[in-house]
Structure 1
């Protein structure tokens, strides 16, 4: 079957998650096409189960027709010409599309929220590199699920802390199957998503004893709502000495301290000072983790990128014993060049809930290649 996975706002992050998900779930697939709006693949999946597992995919479309755009008028779409259609890419050609399809949304696409709330059935027209793909939308991400969990859990996260959907993306990037560790757990957003994701053993810790109480409340709530029997181990622990608290973990999904919340863009010198202050925390944590993370295990982590007055200032990416994973390794070089997929990390959106972030998340995935040398 040919399916198109329609990306969320951050198309690179959505793509990285999908490719990682295919890999660790051992889903056989072959590449068909790719744009900044969607990836088209040949695979056998349960669309609804798959989209429920993902945090950054908006829709899955079952492709029924492939054709050059010049042949649009010769295609038979049946009574679907009288139903809503979402158009992804080449908006300059909307005039021609409206000659074939009578219900093209004003904003070109129906949101996944609108489809669910109104119970609509839609098709989608997706532009690839040189080919058009048309099909019926067979699965839609349910944003109300993430929002409900975020609002209803007993202890709330701070406004700019990681969201449930981003937490789910981190989990898929970590490729955790049996167990996962979040050593900077805060109120437990990643742990909650791990429980709903079906991970059986969840390890969480934090240096703040008070915030651990909130995390414990949220974990109990999540297990009850999800009907989960997951074993959650909660420890008060300094992440710089994480191996003293946990002996063996399969994978890590975490968001550490990203620095102070900045209301204004700092100077480049001040931004560098903030990064310099955080660097020992990250370095000591990653070094201690080498004692308890399985060889080959992944660390999906967000690091700060500070939007200074003179440009972006990044945190260092090198950690002894680890290699930075290329999330787009399976994409053909000509697509990588055309779409500028030339980095191994992905920057998050610069705005969240209408608020411009001066500290931007940079999603990184590391693989442990060398255990710490025993003294």
Structure 2
């Protein structure tokens, strides 16, 4: 999402900014050539119990994305979660009591006609949905939240550049991690609507209901599930990555803000969060209330996304560093020098600063950084 700043620029400054942007875009396009994400063949799934199959929304979407070259992490499998309840084979997963519990959980809470889901849970589920074309989808919604937090904290242009780059890389890699898990493992798990409607999973703890439908709905009120395997949740993995990147940036989880949504089934709805982790958690569990994911899809996704973001925060886009103090600029007084220095450190542009008076009694100070 664009950041709107009330700053007047000269024609030369605008031209310089355009040039930098174009060069950055060209470099990124060049770096992503042959990145492994191009579709190779349609992903039609399987008719065997447990495995994903189309649910009316087409073949599996973007099946190669899990093989794409990551943006910040070392490899697409680096933070692959262990599997639903630790299972890596469908043959051991389906008979398990944990599987039955997960199916019955979403069957109760995520159905279009559910009587156990609360009104607030329904609102939250639709608030976070944004599965439809024409909406900003999960990463766009989190960019919107990032914009709100940026404005609350008065970030500079340079600070915004680093913050949005960090969250963008983190969420891009979250997509690679999630889609690797969805398509490149044996647990390309069927959606709840398949698990609930169809008999044959061999688990005595589940009972088929061929009329069950998820709360999830399109603009015409038709109920649907997104066209890719359930484990792990893409929404949740994006949420975990965004939350960790944002927490690392601001140095705290405890931030309060209010945001809205572009989902057509929740237009005008606002929700207030008192922590970054609370937003990520609600996003993840909201997929259960929406009827399109199991609870472990969310917990596994949040954890995997957070791990990917933590790696990027620690190893990419780090603050500038110098062995010795480097002059940054001269300022007219100590307070002004300290304000700029604190800002540079808070925005992760430098690791530390000091202010040195130029010559007593002249109030001018020189800001040094390293």
Into which bin does the TM-score normalised by the smaller protein fall? under 0.3
> Normalized against structure 1, the TM-score is what?
0.23
> Normalized against structure 2, the TM-score is what?
0.23
Structure holding more strand per residue: 1
